[in-house]
Structure 1
Amino acid sequence: MTIPKPLSLSILATLLFTQSSRAQVSVKMHTLTGYEDYESFAYAACEKLQVVLNSTRFKNAVRQGSFTRTNGLTSQKIWEKIMNAHEVQGPGGKDSVVDLHARIITIEQDGTRWINNCKPGSWAGTIGIDGRGDGVTAICREKLKKFYDTKDTASLAGHYMHEYMHMLGFSHPGFRKSRSAVYKIGYIARDIIRQGI
């Protein structure tokens, strides 16, 4: 039996729409270096991040968002890039899997500048850094401890989302970085968790 061309295109369009509307992504933490007592906390943040990424609330917030530093992409295309999960920095992995590698900021790897930026009350207010293209995100020990002590998995998940945006090729140099896709999408993930997924 031959399916008429208009009908076959209609079926194909329906299948593609169904697949794209049900796009699912998983979050996998491959390595945790220096996290010691905080590993289970980090995995809990990843689990919440996965739920957020697959939520309608996240999809709508990103697709309707207004961002700077978008690499020329529309909000819809940014959401699609996140859901495709094809990292351009670091070792990468499978598409549709957010591949994370995390470590603690150390003086040996990052120098005194970043250690000083991590200190509570520093002018920089640093939470972490993106690993300079190696795909390994780093977090200030002080911030991780604070998130843990206050049971703030939302902020840790938001940090992972922020750094993951760098792994997808987005940046936030210069002034008004809080308006960038990197910052705002990290905030979206954090806020959805805080409001209850």
Structure 2
Amino acid sequence: MTVDVQLHEITGATDAEERFIKDSVILLRKAVSSPGFGGSVRQADYGFAGWQSLHGGVKDMDGLQIWDRIVHGRECGKTADHTLDLAISVEDMDGPESAHPVIGRTRLGTLPIRTARWFVALCMDAGDRVNMAAHLMHQWMHVSGFVHGKDHTGHDAPAVIAKLVRRSLESDFGDEIDAQVTAHLTLDVSDCDCCVNADAPEPTPVRAA
């Protein structure tokens, strides 16, 4: 069973930014449809795998359930179509010079993916389409309903899946991967400020997505 990636629109981007994002989407499609990616998702170690419906509480999912949402292209509240639907808005957000740099502010269960212009520029300057693809996957996980844990250690489902995208592309495009960009994306340096809720309830185990 394969999964596709469909880019519907890009707003707020320059021509150069748009070309770079489109090239990165091609790599994302390659990653999620590659042999072994599904197995990696199912077998990964998740420190936190909370999923939240548009109107419900946070539920804990395992690797099988996470892969089910990805392979079926399940955006929150949408019909499964085996396609990761992307709409991307490039916006000005606080950068590395601020006290709280922000990579993206995608609202839970909602397109467009809102990505920071400074992060796009950082990836472009480094020629790093791989981490841009990983970032888009991270943000799509929020569109699907996955939330961050309270500790932000980079071991929750959006962060882990982004790492798996990067790992999937490493053999063919490893020379593009920039250490500084990777550091921002893995939350060691930055933060994505997507849907963290310090008062969110602890996840409730469920059997099915």
Q: What's the TM-score, normalizing by structure 1?
A: 0.75
Match of 1:191 among 167, 170, 194: 167
User: Which residue in 1 is equivalent to 2:71?
Assistant: 83
**Equivalent position SS for 1:66:** coil
Q: 1:59 deviation in Å?
A: 1.6
CA contact (8 A) 2:72 2:80 kept: no
Work out the percentage of aligned pairs sharing the same amino acid: 25
CA contact (8 A) 1:154 1:191 kept: no
Q: 1:196 deviation in Å?
A: 2.1
- Structure showing greater radius of gyration is 1
| Paired residue type of 1:122 | S
**Equivalent position SS for 1:31:** strand
Q: How many residues align?
A: 163
Structure 2 CA distance for partners of 1:176 and 1:140, relative to 1, 3 Å: closer
Structure 1, gaps ≥5 residues long: 1-22, 107-114
**Equivalent position SS for 1:135:** coil
Q: 1:132 deviation in Å?
A: 4.9
Match of 2:5 among 16, 27, 49: 27
Q: How does 1:10-159 map to 2 (within 5 A)?
A: 23-36=1-14, 37-67=16-46, 68-70=48-50, 71-88=59-76, 95-106=81-92, 115=93, 118-159=94-135
Deviates more, 1:118-127 or 1:51-60: 118-127
Structure 2, gaps ≥5 residues long: 51-58, 174-209
User: Which residue in 2 is equivalent to 1:7?
Assistant: none
Q: Following the alignment from structure 2 to structure 1, what is the Cα–Cα distance between the partners of residues 79 and 127? A: 30
Question: When you count helix as a share of all residues, which structure comes out higher?
Answer: 1
Q: 1:133 deviation in Å?
A: 4.1
Q: What's the TM-score, normalizing by structure 2?
A: 0.71
Q: 1:142 deviation in Å?
A: 1.1
Q: Following the alignment from structure 1 to structure 2, what is the Cα–Cα distance between the partners of residues 94 and 43? A: 23
Match of 2:156 among 156, 162, 180: 180
Q: Following the alignment from structure 1 to structure 2, what is the Cα–Cα distance between the partners of residues 64 and 196? A: 22
**Equivalent position SS for 2:36:** helix
Q: Following the alignment from structure 2 to structure 1, what is the Cα–Cα distance between the partners of residues 144 and 172? A: 26
**Equivalent position SS for 1:29:** strand
CA contact (8 A) 2:89 2:113 kept: yes
Q: 1:138 deviation in Å?
A: 1.2
**RMSD of aligned Cα (Å):** 2.0
User: Which residue in 1 is equivalent to 2:184?
Assistant: none
Structure 2 CA distance for partners of 1:193 and 1:33, relative to 1, 3 Å: same
Q: 1:189 deviation in Å?
A: 0.6
CA contact (8 A) 2:108 2:144 kept: no
Q: Following the alignment from structure 1 to structure 2, what is the Cα–Cα distance between the partners of residues 49 and 171? A: 21
CA contact (8 A) 1:93 1:99 kept: no
**Equivalent position SS for 1:85:** coil
The C-alpha deviation readout for 1:73-109, integer Å capped at 9, x for no partner, is 22122112100002116xx576111100101124xxx
Structure 2 CA distance for partners of 1:124 and 1:56, relative to 1, 3 Å: farther
